Structure 1
Amino acid sequence: MADSTPATSEVLVVGAGPTGLMLANILGGYGHSVTVLEARDTLIDYPRGVGLDDESLRTIQSIGLVEQVRPHTTPQHIMRLVNGRGKSIIINNPQTDEFGWERKHGFIQPEVDRELFNGLSRFDNVNVHFGHEVLDVEETADSVTAIARSTDASGNAVETRFEAQYLVGCEGGKSPTRKRLGVSFEGESPSTRWLVVDVNNDPLGTPNVFLGADPERPYVSIGLPHAVRRWEFMLHDDETEEQATDPEFVNQMLAAHVPDPSTLNYIRRRVFTHHARVAGSFRKGRQIIAGDAAHLMPVWMGQGWNSGMRDATNLGWKLATILSGQASDKLLDTFTEERRDHAKAMVDLSLTMGKVIKITNPLVVIARDTASSVLNLFPSVKSYFADMRFKPMPRYVKGVLADPSTKASGTANGKLTSKLIPFTTANTTVSPVGVQFIQPKVRTDELGTVLLDEAVGKWWTLLVWGNDPVDVLPARTLAKLEELGARLVAVVPETQYAWAKRDMHEDTLVLSDTTGRLKKWFDDRPTPMLLIRPDRFVAGACLNQDGPQTIDAVLAALDFQGAPRTAAVVSPATAN
């Protein structure tokens, strides 16, 4: 039986995994209608991802679900890479909280995914349909329609049409959406297989992560929230999947880790193979892919779940911009431009880490362990690993950006090249454009002390150090920022807060730099004016006199159409 009258919404999300659920939350928060179609009857209820980073938690903060998610996390999740004798080769314990949260967390993915799902109940314009498998998609110049199969109460198959302006496939590595688009999925699937064992009532009780680079059998041991423990063991070529999941075999694997494996409360025992692949493009026409549908990576850096969050964060505000009429859908081309290179960098890093762990040649193992011992004697090298500086942070060089030196639109060099004295005397020549802005705490009389994003809201922000934006920008530029819906923000030292509140324009949000961390950021960089995107990446950075040209360049990269957003999104009262 087929229903010929399509159900309509602005965006169709295929797949109720973490990326799809996050994207639906972001779009719902911006007031847009979303339909989520999930082939399964329920959310997946067994553990998968185990690492949640500070960027993802900042995104969760932006949709108002931090308090719901935090109980399912272990902050400051330390990782130790140990050799076959149990000696630490590398300790990864980053102390930074530049984005407002601890750099690394252990987490229980099913519980966090469920909180993302529960969060959708806040939005009348977001609907989730379980048990709906998308069979085909029809696309026209103006819309996209998914034909989905479900089963009615009598067990009969029903086909339903769902129409929208855009479809986003978030169905995982075997994504039918990606296959329909016909884009490449380049990379490799290493032949090494791993046995994953999850148990309740953690028999060890030690927190954090141990990566065992043991040439006899590499392993992973991870302490997780809610008293869950995960082990992963590399399988030898002659060990079958049936053998590996046999209880006796699993008990043998755990004999060196647990006093009595036979008493464990198992959640699952499963064999899997790592994949390292990235799609050639994340968009074709009105169909887009995100999360594992766009990139698959080995587990070693715990970045699969987090990369999906980055995709949703990048894509969500862009779809909202297009749907509100502020930009054409050429903006969607920047999704691939901005996200693909970083996703590939994380895939490559994860592969490299896996190769370090999986070494079994005795001579190579000795060389690795010796080199690690020597390098650990140098503080700068130890800090490099401890602070996780080897992890490539997202830096966009093409997309919705303006170069701070040349004012070129759509591109941003990683270095500042201006010959003006403020640039040549700066403490750093690294450009802040294309990277995520920091999130320290700030203070206002009305809000008290809060994280920066809580104060400025979730749309565009024009942030200026020590000056009122209204006083340093011409009326024509201020009018464009108003059309964009940008919040005008002045940041001052605590000592100047009373003066700024009294003398600055009433539409300017004045923030006190109560910790001094914002002053330190601006001390080091000759860019006291920032245009910050909804995903908290810096789109433009400049001296105050260069503000109009820089803002125009960013708007050109955005393909800004000048249409005002809905009051529900622009209003400062609802933007926080």
Structure 2
Amino acid sequence: MTDEIEELDCDVLIAGAGPVGQVLALLLAQHRLRVGVVERWARPYPLPRAVAMSHDVQRVLRQLGLGEELSVLLEPWGQDGQRFSFADSSGRTLVESRYPLESDSGYAQMSGFSQPDLEEVLERRVRADPLIDQYRGFALEGFTDDGSAVHATVVPHTGLAAVADGSPRTVRAAYVVGCDGANSTVRSLLGPQMTDLGFDRDWVVVDVVPHTPPTWLPYACQRLGPARPTTLVPAGPGRRRWEFMVMPTDDPAGIDTDENAWQLLAPWGIHPGNADLVRHARYTFRGRWADRWHKGRVLLAGDAAHQMPPFLGQGFNSGIRDAASLAWRLALLVNGEGKESLLDDYTAERSAHVAQIVKETVAIGRLICMLDPEQTARRDAELERDATAGIEDAHKNWLLRGGTLRDDGVGGNLGLQATVGGGGRTALLDEVIAPPGFLLLGRDRDPVELLSPPRRAAWRRLGGRSAHFGPEGLKDAEGTYAHWFKRLNASVVAIRPDFQVFGGARDAQAADALVHDLAERVLT
């Protein structure tokens, strides 16, 4: 690593090298942008944090070419019929549900993983990418946006003894993205209003590695109050996580200690003789998001833009979705092809999406954190009566609304990835048509043939590709796409580089209008 950061000139400067910042950097490099990343800490954080990866996020990570490196890190939730249960204080099951092993992305709905292992893989990729300059030991302190570029003030992090010079440096970038966490400096400098749902509960998170598979434990469960509410989930291959609510009677000074962690684990049959204690940490779970995610050429993503309780496992996943939604927009803007309104659309799409998830997560959190005996008794009875409700509904695809989407009942869906035949092999769609890029997908004929010359020219400007099913195209190996097109009532769909569907069309005239609308929303 060089200290010549004052000479850095990049397309996008990212503050923060957590998984959101690293994924965004790699996605931007896929679009051939030059990226700078500043991170105050010398190495990735070595202890577990996020443990749940959604199917659509796995698809984003796989497009980075992680392949087998990612597969060995993941434990699909729901293998061998494993289920998630809600139980009362005595351990009696009130309602349970399966974790689906199928999804619109072609992967299990949710998979467990260890964040340090994932960050190690991402760190290697970032360091090896010639388009990414990463500067660990530096922090973004301020910036000025002159309308054509952002001049960021970057200073060595004084907590690192290796930094010999404390003088500030200036980095010139076309755009700056704050991926610098819940205590974001970039957000503080932008000063957006925050929508806060007024939910804050203290919990102790405990991660362990059992010496042998703990077959006596439930696979995943939520133990409800009025005794201590507790969550147990798989946290990646060979790992388990407990989350214990801090109770009013707990001693604040002793709650976040090794001794207390073992005491909390003891009723579950976990002790120093059969497990290693990896980590314990006290957290305040909150639900809030920024009302504005960009100002000029400075943007927010990940925890800098939103924080949510972990009850649906969507904090990390929402951050990676931010990165995927932002990368293709910045690529168009840097290359002079995109409209500035793309950044307003980014805020509109992602903030509305996150707001929906945070509201649902907080609603579940209020249910879980209930302590009044009479209220909990009524809650338990209602859960037991409505046992068919299905916890799996919490892991659905939240549809996008507004932003760079058509409001036609098709836009905002996640683009389907299923098994197709093409190029002499049978594989998932992304292995046959490698992302990133805009894709025009036809049910039974090449969609580009349906376009007028001006629309074909617009599609070429977008770098768009096309594919279709039929004798001269892809094979719908399992009939999944035929069902999907029928459900959407479309014969052509336009899919963005982040795998979100822009909109659909039923015939040639509508397909031409579809590409026209996309070009009008995106291109200068």
Please tell me the TM-score bracket, short chain as reference: over 0.9
Relative to structure 1, is the Cα distance of residues 264 and 461 closer, same or farther in structure 2, using a 3 angstrom cutoff? closer
Percent same amino acid at aligned positions? 27
Which residue is 2:444 aligned to?
466
Matched, 1:454 2:418: no
Q: CA deviation at 1:202?
A: 5.0
Which residue is 1:272 aligned to?
283
Q: Deviations over 1:162-189 (max 9, x none)?
A: 2100000001111110110010122145
Superposed, 1:57-136 pairs within 5 Å as: 57-77=58-78, 78-95=83-100, 96-136=102-142
Alignment equivalent of 2:170, drawn from 151, 161, 186: 161
Q: CA deviation at 1:4?
A: 9.4
Which residue is 1:489 aligned to?
467
Asked if the contact 1:491–1:513 (Cα under 8 Å) also holds between the matched residues in 2, the reply is yes
Superposed, 1:69-468 pairs within 5 Å as: 69-77=70-78, 78-95=83-100, 96-150=102-156, 153=162, 155-188=164-197, 190-201=199-210, 205-206=214-215, 208-258=219-269, 260-261=271-272, 264-376=275-387, 381-382=388-389, 384-385=390-391, 388-391=392-395, 393-402=397-406, 412-413=407-408, 431-446=409-424, 448-457=425-434, 458-468=436-446
SS in 1 for 2:360: helix
Asked if the contact 1:57–1:66 (Cα under 8 Å) also holds between the matched residues in 2, the reply is no
Equivalents in 2 of 1:547, 1:518: separation in Å?
A: 18
Equivalents in 2 of 1:157, 1:343: separation in Å?
A: 38
Which residue is 1:552 aligned to?
516
The TM-score, its normalising length taken from structure 1, stands at 0.84
Equivalents in 2 of 1:64, 1:232: separation in Å?
A: 33
Relative to structure 1, is the Cα distance of residues 3 and 488 closer, same or farther in structure 2, using a 3 angstrom cutoff? closer
Asked if the contact 1:202–1:229 (Cα under 8 Å) also holds between the matched residues in 2, the reply is no
Which residue is 2:456 aligned to?
478
Equivalents in 1 of 2:170, 2:131: separation in Å?
A: 18
Q: CA deviation at 1:468?
A: 2.6
SS in 2 for 1:450: strand
The one-letter code sitting in structure 2 at the alignment partner of 1:53 is: S
Aligned length: 510
Asked if the contact 1:189–1:273 (Cα under 8 Å) also holds between the matched residues in 2, the reply is no
Asked if the contact 1:215–1:360 (Cα under 8 Å) also holds between the matched residues in 2, the reply is yes
Which residue is 2:38 aligned to?
37
Asked if the contact 1:189–1:274 (Cα under 8 Å) also holds between the matched residues in 2, the reply is no
Asked if the contact 2:301–2:323 (Cα under 8 Å) also holds between the matched residues in 1, the reply is yes
Equivalents in 2 of 1:476, 1:245: separation in Å?
A: 64
Relative to structure 1, is the Cα distance of residues 154 and 198 closer, same or farther in structure 2, using a 3 angstrom cutoff? closer
Q: CA deviation at 1:66?
A: 3.4
Equivalents in 2 of 1:269, 1:465: separation in Å?
A: 51
Q: Deviations over 1:50-91 (max 9, x none)?
A: 111101101012211132122111102443222112122232
Relative to structure 1, is the Cα distance of residues 259 and 535 closer, same or farther in structure 2, using a 3 angstrom cutoff? closer
Relative to structure 1, is the Cα distance of residues 251 and 262 closer, same or farther in structure 2, using a 3 angstrom cutoff? farther
Asked if the contact 1:189–1:275 (Cα under 8 Å) also holds between the matched residues in 2, the reply is yes
The structure number with the bigger radius of gyration is: 1
Q: CA deviation at 1:265?
A: 2.3
Q: CA deviation at 1:264?
A: 4.4
SS in 1 for 2:370: coil
Relative to structure 1, is the Cα distance of residues 153 and 175 closer, same or farther in structure 2, using a 3 angstrom cutoff? closer
Which residue is 1:535 aligned to?
498
Q: Deviations over 1:409-465 (max 9, x none)?
A: xxx15xxxxxxxxxxxxxxxxx2212111111101134x111112222320111111
Equivalents in 1 of 2:171, 2:443: separation in Å?
A: 48
Asked if the contact 1:460–1:485 (Cα under 8 Å) also holds between the matched residues in 2, the reply is yes
Relative to structure 1, is the Cα distance of residues 251 and 443 closer, same or farther in structure 2, using a 3 angstrom cutoff? same
SS in 2 for 1:547: helix
Which residue is 1:48 aligned to?
49
Asked if the contact 2:213–2:238 (Cα under 8 Å) also holds between the matched residues in 1, the reply is no
Question: Structure 2: which 5+ runs fail to align?
Answer: none
The TM-score, its normalising length taken from structure 2, stands at 0.92
Equivalents in 2 of 1:259, 1:162: separation in Å?
A: 50
Q: CA RMSD in A?
A: 2.1
Asked if the contact 1:464–1:529 (Cα under 8 Å) also holds between the matched residues in 2, the reply is yes
Relative to structure 1, is the Cα distance of residues 295 and 222 closer, same or farther in structure 2, using a 3 angstrom cutoff? same
Q: CA deviation at 1:229?
A: 2.3
SS in 2 for 1:485: coil
Equivalents in 1 of 2:249, 2:139: separation in Å?
A: 37
Asked if the contact 1:241–1:271 (Cα under 8 Å) also holds between the matched residues in 2, the reply is no
Q: Deviations over 1:544-563 (max 9, x none)?
A: 221112211111111x13xx
